[in-house]
Structure 1
């Protein structure tokens, strides 16, 4: 089955239309009944009240009919209150007309409408005690109008009917109970006991503010809901018990903090930051800030315990550090003095643990400083020995750096002195090694010359050897060593390339011998251009290789190989 999207809205609209038609019919019926009553009373000798009173009530009843369509909370209240208020006067009018002997039709109409209003009021207001009492009050107000109506006629029977009906429909509603009287009585009893207990505990502070708030809420809610009120009272008592237990623990913590603080002040000889924190904690405790007071007391206890545990050790460590430093001066010593001053400052701030942690390493640091100074002195001695063993041409710059190293050690900068002295030693050692290397190479100069190929390029190599000799004669041993290393490296590279080119030339020369024999056997003589080109290229390659011209040699080998390939195709 397919349901259209607007089906729910259409169903609600149809139901509302039916309700509106029904309410309109009922409204018109009440108006018609009022008009009928008015029409019948036109020729009556009754008073104006008896003629127009029922009409007014019927018309008023018709006015509340539209509220039955919406029938929300406000509409329910208006309809039920109006029904309770209107049905007693309508019943009184019906009774008076019945007693006067009027026709039974109008009396039945009035009685039916009165019963209908009574039924609606009892149907709406029948659940809670407050709604029953509202119904009783509204009905009582309605009988307050009904009794004067009956009082016009002093008939005892009418008085009895209206009075008994009023008593039966009003008194039970006004004295109705919800069944929570015992619980409510128990609640008020426990509430009074809890309030008295908390009042006895509270001594001008706000520590039980939460309990007082819970009791206030319990008093407001307990009459309507005794169970909720009892629960709130129990929560208030539990909160008060918890606060009392916490206060006892806090008082004990305060006593412990004061005792430890007094002991720490005996050690330091004066009151410090911990005393100020203790006074703040006491003030917070008196003002009701229990958690803040607890934190303050813990802080006091921790600070005092730290002083008791570490003060003497820290003081002793600072004294030992000052003795270890003594009257020493210098860059490194100044840093250690700064550390000792920081430890003194930490002691003034009542933090002996930190002071001990930073000053306990001072003796070890002083040992390292002395070791470093000793190493610097040794390095300077080694540098002086190296200078004394060096030639006069190399010691000028070394002497300047040696003076800088000595000035550095006087100022306490041992690291700089070590760096300068070791640099001098390394520099002189390298120069000495370079001198030995160059001198040994020059003594073996002929072996170097023998490695140089003949030809035009030999002059360049000999010039490099002459440059090395000039540098050696001027005492520039480091530059001479660098030039010698460059020359040796270049000769090694050249020798490697010559060896490779020689292998290629020997290979192609042997191949040419074999090819030439085959050419002779096939009748290709020396007058062949490719053959003559091959002979010429191989001769040029041999000459280039002897002169050290590797590139020219390789080029000639390539020409010879191409010509030989052409000759192979002729065979």
Structure 2
């Protein structure tokens, strides 16, 4: 609570100082443009003070971004007004402040690849602000390349930086595109691939930041696609073999419907692109047909034998 009061008091003090300096420039004899840079920095500093109370990850990122935006402008102010006496002192203070802000931004925005990219983007904003300030205070032409080159030394590596998962992510995207192309090709042939499509969709939506897991999902989807390809090539042979067994079973046992019904269901599933279900139906039909082929004649013989025994028993009873 005490720290919060100190932070609020400091914020109010900075805002008051910046407002007084701004009003004195508006209604006094001093020029406004030379004061815009320092006044803007004071206002920004007053807003950053609040983040120093709870110095968590979000606050560190915010302070780092503000420091990265501000230090080019402060650097421009320090170089633009180098002279002897008081001007040299103020330039030195500005230079120390610029180095401090750069150090804060470099420390807070160097933890992850995304923070480095964010630092590079905020450096662009910092350059634009510094250009505006240098133009407003009529800096010498040599100041421009010094400030811009100082910022670009860190900005370009940040913008071009690649994280440790760059190669695996590139491999993941290439394999994912190839797997999706295979799925689309099979779908155009009327083959249903719901499971593989679902796996690939999950990989694209959830595995950008985890390419290793994405590669595992793509591999699983590719295996499923390969099985479907092999199954589509073997399904015709399975169907022909099953049809032979069904016709043989029907020739042995007239009127049976089980094998033919399962076979027709297999044809329906194959027509809809569900090859796995079609294969299961064909195999189920074949197993039913095999039962008829193997046991139907034996069952008929046993029934005939039983009927013959019953007739003989009835004849014996009549004779007696």
Q: Identify the TM-score tier after normalising by the shorter chain.
A: 0.7 to 0.9
Which residue is equivalent to 1:489?
none
**Secondary structure at the residue paired with 1:98?**
coil
TM-score normalised by the chain length of structure 1: 0.47
Which residue is equivalent to 1:95?
79
| Aligned CA distance change for structure 1 residues 295 and 222 (closer, same or farther; 3 Å) | closer
Which residue is equivalent to 1:214?
199
Q: CA deviation at 1:177?
A: 2.1
Q: CA deviation at 1:29?
A: 8.1
- Whether the 8 Å contact between 1:274 and 1:300 is mirrored in structure 2 is yes
Which residue is equivalent to 2:115?
131
Larger radius of gyration: 1
| Aligned CA distance change for structure 1 residues 98 and 142 (closer, same or farther; 3 Å) | same
- Whether the 8 Å contact between 1:87 and 1:117 is mirrored in structure 2 is yes
- Which one of the candidate residues 269, 290, 295 is aligned to 1:305? 290
- Whether the 8 Å contact between 1:91 and 1:111 is mirrored in structure 2 is yes
Query: 1:258 aligned to 2:243?
Result: yes
**Secondary structure at the residue paired with 1:126?**
coil
RMSD after superposition: 3.9
**Secondary structure at the residue paired with 1:47?**
coil
Map 1:434-449 onto structure 2 (within 5 A).
Answer: none
Q: CA deviation at 1:134?
A: 0.9
Query: 1:86 aligned to 2:70?
Result: yes
Which residue is equivalent to 1:148?
132
- Whether the 8 Å contact between 1:132 and 1:173 is mirrored in structure 2 is yes
Q: Deviations over 1:396-434 (max 9, x none)?
A: xxxxxxxxxxxxxxxxxxxxxxxxxxxxxxxxxxxxxxx
Map 1:102-251 onto structure 2 (within 5 A).
Answer: 103-152=87-136, 153-220=138-205, 224-247=209-232, 250-251=235-236
Number of aligned residues: 318
User: Structure 2: how far apart are the matches of 1:45 and 1:100?
Assistant: 24
User: Structure 1: how far apart are the matches of 2:218 and 2:5?
Assistant: 54
Q: CA deviation at 1:291?
A: 4.6
Q: CA deviation at 1:150?
A: 0.8
Q: Deviations over 1:193-217 (max 9, x none)?
A: 4344444444444543333333344
Map 1:372-451 onto structure 2 (within 5 A).
Answer: none
Q: CA deviation at 1:309?
A: 2.5
Which residue is equivalent to 1:563?
none
Q: CA deviation at 1:22?
A: 7.3
- Whether the 8 Å contact between 1:190 and 1:233 is mirrored in structure 2 is yes
User: Structure 2: how far apart are the matches of 1:121 and 1:268?
Assistant: 86
Q: CA deviation at 1:144?
A: 0.8
User: Structure 2: how far apart are the matches of 1:240 and 1:291?
Assistant: 12
